[in-house]
Amino acid sequence: MDLDSGSVHVWTIQVGSSDVVDSSRRRPEHRGEAREAARALLARYVGDLAGDPLSAWRRVERPAPGEVVSSLSHSGRFAVLAVTRGRGVGVDLERIRSTRDARALARRFFSAPEAARLDRLSAAEASEPFFRFWVRKEAYLKGVGGTVPDGLRRFETGEAPSGVPILVRTQLEAADGSAWTLHDLTAPDGYVAALAIEGEPARIERFTL
């Protein structure tokens, strides 16, 4: 499949016929469907894949120029696969669900300024913004090779006046500032998704399976 170095292909994959009752759990059969679908899609870009398909995209070293790099996320009955060339990429998808207190979770896991933004909301209002913050942060962590939850406090996300997500500061990259950009993705109803891309802003092309 044609993929130039200035593009990121983002695939939305349906992996189940109905959402799980407890949406905080990821059914093993859905996870398996997501992996097999991702394997088939990646084969369109790089040919047949041997071994565990996760090994094809879970990496932390810098990719070679032109090398196909990808990231996969699964939640509920959907998965999202991001594919690009020669640059780091991370993607995350989460189903929005009720939490006892998203503000308390943010104080535990997020940077102080991020938690403060959620603290200005009521408990009922905080769930969707919490998950939107979460997918932005986890997409970036996947891209740079950081870990959850240790890496979550080591950088801060925010929004430009236009509402576009930005990286305010980070301790996860060697140089001052960041070489990465964040993008909110259109997700199925009841879900949020985000993409992190290394280098210059890319042309994002969307596909469904």
Polymer length in residues for the chain: 209
Closest C-alpha among 80, 195, 89 to residue 137: 195
How far does CA 153 lie from the centroid of its chain?
Answer: 17
Which pLDDT belongs to residue 207? 97
Which pLDDT belongs to residue 31? 82
DSSP state letter for 67 = -
Q: Is the pLDDT of residue 165 over 50?
A: yes
Measured distance CA(130)–CA(136) in Å, rounded: 10
Mean pLDDT of 124-132: 94
Measured distance CA(102)–CA(158) in Å, rounded: 17
In this prediction, residue 92 has a pLDDT band, given cuts at 50, 70 and 90, of very high
Measured distance CA(81)–CA(77) in Å, rounded: 14
CATH of domain 7-208: 3.90.470.20
- Give per-residue pLDDT as tens, 47-87: 766 544 444 444 456 788 888 899 999 999 999 999 999 99
Which pLDDT belongs to residue 49? 60
List Cα–Cα distances, 157 to 55, 92, 142, 152, 207, in angstroms. 28, 15, 15, 10, 27
- Give per-residue pLDDT as tens, 7-48: 999 999 998 765 544 444 556 668 889 989 998 999 899 876
Closest C-alpha among 175, 122, 143, 113 to residue 133: 113
pTM score of the predicted model: 0.88
Q: Is the pLDDT of residue 124 over 50?
A: yes
